[in-house]
């Protein structure tokens, strides 16, 4: 029982029993708690992506998409533990150690780095440092890495081999994505706004404003998506003889909607959690970010469904959902430094960008089943631009340092931030498309990237995963029946599996 601090009437010994909370304990508890909660929310985005992707593809590939999304977490956790986190945030000691602006190199498998484990003992293998290097921070960043990787599974859906999937997923989670994180979010990165002033070398004075990852997460995933979809080639039957798009309908709209709602829910953790703290005024930033996130989703969703109505004459669910996701992607970069009205505007135009980017990709005869490139590349790059345009005072709410430049739309700010953000976006696209050409091109040359046309007709579930995703028999004899049904359907409709 802690006694209250006494007015003069009480004896001193009682007053001495009162204990107060140190700023240290408070900060540790609330900041790490915040990271934990937000990590859980971002984790749940994986369920959102899973339902969105499963619902959007044909039912013959539903199980495949579900397996891929769960594997992104299971395999991704191993890879992020082994390599990814070390490449992303494993710093240097500035005294001859492996510090550099391109890639981190310490902390593989939580093995202690240069300055970790002050209270070293035989069992202390991992560092506990503030923010990034806490276990909560690792978890939060792992969920982000899984997001970047999962994006691509939408673009290569319904035709990528499982081996191909495993290889590219390991590369993205373990190497391509962490390098970009190191550039922009670590304190050593050459494009980082949080760059440690003691880091060696002369770099860009102020870093990229990419608060929650329009560029670091979404542009990475989206760029790889576009290249992967291009190299893989379209699904059989996606374009007709004259090159016109043949619609392939989502097989379960309820899943699409549920997935979108789960993604929006998780995005509250994705964006608000990117404050990485609540103490020191960051709670005010976090809640402003949550509101900006909401308004951006609102703007994007309204843009998406309106444009669908104008162009197609009806109100479709994927347009609404992709508009919302586009708005959420677009606002990630600027959300901590932009006014609420600006977040709605960013979301609205991101929704437009998404809609037309997707049509542009189709015109290029690239088949991206989930429009992953439109949502994540189009809106990701657009978001980086907005980060350079709408930042009112970039040090708002203690998110960035006071000498970070502000957005080009505001008087006296100049174009510096816009320039840096565009440079960041271009560098991400160069890095990711280059790596994606190597990884996917290499697998294509090796003949391990794409399934056979027969397998594609049957669907990945039957050909790779033992049985169909659904079974409506009374006795649960699904698998065999479904195979027959597939074959029967082919015979009945006289569909000949075309040769490629």
Q: Which of positions 287-316 make contact with a copy of itself (CB under 8 A)? A: 287-288, 290-291, 294-295, 297-302, 305, 312, 314-316
Q: Which of 99, 134, 150, 322 binds a copy of itself (CB under 8 A)?
A: 134
Q: CB neighbours (10 Å) of residue 202?
A: 5
Part in contact with a copy of itself (CB under 8 A); list of ranges 35-43, 353-361, 372-380, 421-429: 35-43
Residues in contact with a copy of itself, shown as a per-residue x/- string from 200 to 239 under the rule CB under 8 A = -------------------------------------x--
Q: Which of 341, 364, 365, 441 binds a copy of itself (CB under 8 A)?
A: 341
| Contact in structure between 375 and 354 (CB atoms under 8 Å) | yes
Q: Is 423 in the site for a copy of itself (CB under 8 A)?
A: no
Q: Which of 100, 196, 253, 433 binds a copy of itself (CB under 8 A)?
A: 253
Q: Which is nearer to a copy of itself, 187 or 287 (CB)?
A: 287
- Ramachandran quadrant class, 397 (left: phi over 0; alpha: psi -120 to 50; beta: rest): left
| Contact in structure between 187 and 89 (CB atoms under 8 Å) | no
- Identify any residues that bridge with 239 across adjacent strands, giving them in sequence order: 245
- State the minimum distance, in angstroms, from the CB of residue 118 to a copy of itself: 11
Give residues 12-31 in contact with a copy of itself (rule: CB under 8 A): 16, 18-26, 28-30
Q: Which is nearer to a copy of itself, 268 or 349 (CB)?
A: 268
> How far is residue 74's CA from residue 148's CA, in Å, rounded to a whole number?
15
Q: Which is nearer to a copy of itself, 311 or 365 (CB)?
A: 311
- State the minimum distance, in angstroms, from the CB of residue 19 to a copy of itself: 4
Token couple for 180: 């970009």
- State the minimum distance, in angstroms, from the CB of residue 200 to a copy of itself: 27
The SS3 call for residue 240 is coil
The SS3 call for residue 348 is helix
Q: Which residue has the tokens 């010994």?
A: 13
Residue 450: φ, ψ to 5°: -115, 145
Q: Which is nearer to a copy of itself, 223 or 294 (CB)?
A: 294
Q: CB neighbours (10 Å) of residue 122?
A: 5
Q: Which is nearer to a copy of itself, 142 or 188 (CB)?
A: 142
Give residues 37-56 in contact with a copy of itself (rule: CB under 8 A): 37, 39-41, 43-44, 46-47, 50-51, 54-55
Selection from 117, 140, 275, 136 nearest residue 194 by Cα: 275
Q: Is 415 in the site for a copy of itself (CB under 8 A)?
A: no
Q: Which of 52, 62, 217, 224 binds a copy of itself (CB under 8 A)?
A: 62
First to last CA, the chain: 78
> How far is residue 150's CA from residue 138's CA, in Å, rounded to a whole number?
18
Q: Which is nearer to a copy of itself, 127 or 189 (CB)?
A: 127
- State the minimum distance, in angstroms, from the CB of residue 330 to a copy of itself: 15
Q: Which is nearer to a copy of itself, 211 or 264 (CB)?
A: 264
Q: Which of 98, 233, 340, 497 binds a copy of itself (CB under 8 A)?
A: 340
Q: Which is nearer to a copy of itself, 201 or 466 (CB)?
A: 466
DSSP tag of 174: I
Token couple for 408: 């080009």
B/e letters for 57-89, b = 16+ CB within 10 Å, e = fewer, are bbbbbbbbbbbbbebbbebbbebbbebbbbbbb
Give residues 146-205 in contact with a copy of itself (rule: CB under 8 A): 162
- Identify any residues that bridge with 450 across adjacent strands, giving them in sequence order: 160
Give residues 271-290 in contact with a copy of itself (rule: CB under 8 A): 272, 278-279, 283-284, 286-288, 290
Give residues 70-129 in contact with a copy of itself (rule: CB under 8 A): 70-71, 73-78, 81, 109-110, 123, 125-126, 128
Q: Is 381 in the site for a copy of itself (CB under 8 A)?
A: no
Q: Which of 100, 479, 483, 497 binds a copy of itself (CB under 8 A)?
A: 479
> How far is residue 83's CA from residue 150's CA, in Å, rounded to a whole number?
18
Q: Which is nearer to a copy of itself, 444 or 481 (CB)?
A: 481
Q: Which of 105, 117, 194, 252 binds a copy of itself (CB under 8 A)?
A: 252
Q: Which is nearer to a copy of itself, 151 or 432 (CB)?
A: 151
Give residues 444-473 in contact with a copy of itself (rule: CB under 8 A): 457, 459, 461, 464-473
Residues 6+ apart with CB under 8 A from 436: 176, 223, 224, 227, 228, 231
The SS3 call for residue 375 is helix
- State the minimum distance, in angstroms, from the CB of residue 437 to a copy of itself: 27
Residues 6+ apart with CB under 8 A from 129: 115, 116
| Contact in structure between 127 and 89 (CB atoms under 8 Å) | no
> How far is residue 245's CA from residue 227's CA, in Å, rounded to a whole number?
19
- State the minimum distance, in angstroms, from the CB of residue 335 to a copy of itself: 12
């Amino acid at each position: 029982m802690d006694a209250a601090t006494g007015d003069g009437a009480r004896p001193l010994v009682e007053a001495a029993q009162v204990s107060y909370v140190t700023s240290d304990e408070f900060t540790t508890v609330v900041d790490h708690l915040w990271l934990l909660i937000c990590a859980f929310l971002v984790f749940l985005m994986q369920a959102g992506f899973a339902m969105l992707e499963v619902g959007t593809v044909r039912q013959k590939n539903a199980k495949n998409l579900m397996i891929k999304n769960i594997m992104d977490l299971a395999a991704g956790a191993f890879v992020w533990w082994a390599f990814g986190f070390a490449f992303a945030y494993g710093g240097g000691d500035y005294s001859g150690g492996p510090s550099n602006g391109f890639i981190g190199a310490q902390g593989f498998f939580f093995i202690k780095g240069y300055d970790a484990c002050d209270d070293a003992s035989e069992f202390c293998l991992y560092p506990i440092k503030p923010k990034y290097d806490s276990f909560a921070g690792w978890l939060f960043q792992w969920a982000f890495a899984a997001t970047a990787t999962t994006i691509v599974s939408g673009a290569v859906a319904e035709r990528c081999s499982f081996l191909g999937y495993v290889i590219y997923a390991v590369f993205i989670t373990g190497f391509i994505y962490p390098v970009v994180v190191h550039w922009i979010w670590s304190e050593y990165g050459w494009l980082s706004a949080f760059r440690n002033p003691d880091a060696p070398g002369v770099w860009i004075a102020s870093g990229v404003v990419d608060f929650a990852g329009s560029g670091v997460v979404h542009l990475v995933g989206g760029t790889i998506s576009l290249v992967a979809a291009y190299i893989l080639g379209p699904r059989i039957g996606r374009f007709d003889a004259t090159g016109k798009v043949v619609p392939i309908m989502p097989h379960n709209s309820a899943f699409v909607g549920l997935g979108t709602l789960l993604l929006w829910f998780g995005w509250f953790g994705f964006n608000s959690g990117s404050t990485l703290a609540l103490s020191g005024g960051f709670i005010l930033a976090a809640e402003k970010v949550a509101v900006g996130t909401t308004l951006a989703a609102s703007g994007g969703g309204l843009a998406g469904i309106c444009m669908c109505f104008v162009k197609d004459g009806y109100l479709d669910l994927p347009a609404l959902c992709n508009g919302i996701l586009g708005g959420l992607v677009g606002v990630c970069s600027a959300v901590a430094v932009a006014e609420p009205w600006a977040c709605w505007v960013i979301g609205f135009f991101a929704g437009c960008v998404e809609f037309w980017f997707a049509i542009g990709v189709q015109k290029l005869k690239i088949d991206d089943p989930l429009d992953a490139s439109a949502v994540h590349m189009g809106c990701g790059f657009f978001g980086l631009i907005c980060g350079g345009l709408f930042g009112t005072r970039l040090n708002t709410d203690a998110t960035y340092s006071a000498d970070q430049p502000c957005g080009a739309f505001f008087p006296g700010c100049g174009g510096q931030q816009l320039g840096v953000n565009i440079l960041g976006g271009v560098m991400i696209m160069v890095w990711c498309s280059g790596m994606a050409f190597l990884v996917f091109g290499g697998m294509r040359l090796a003949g391990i990237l794409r399934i056979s046309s027969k397998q594609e007709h049957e669907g990945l579930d039957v050909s790779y995963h033992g049985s169909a995703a659904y079974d409506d028999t009374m006795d649960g004899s699904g698998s065999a029946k479904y195979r027959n049904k597939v074959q029967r359907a082919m015979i009945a409709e006289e569909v000949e599996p075309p040769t490629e």
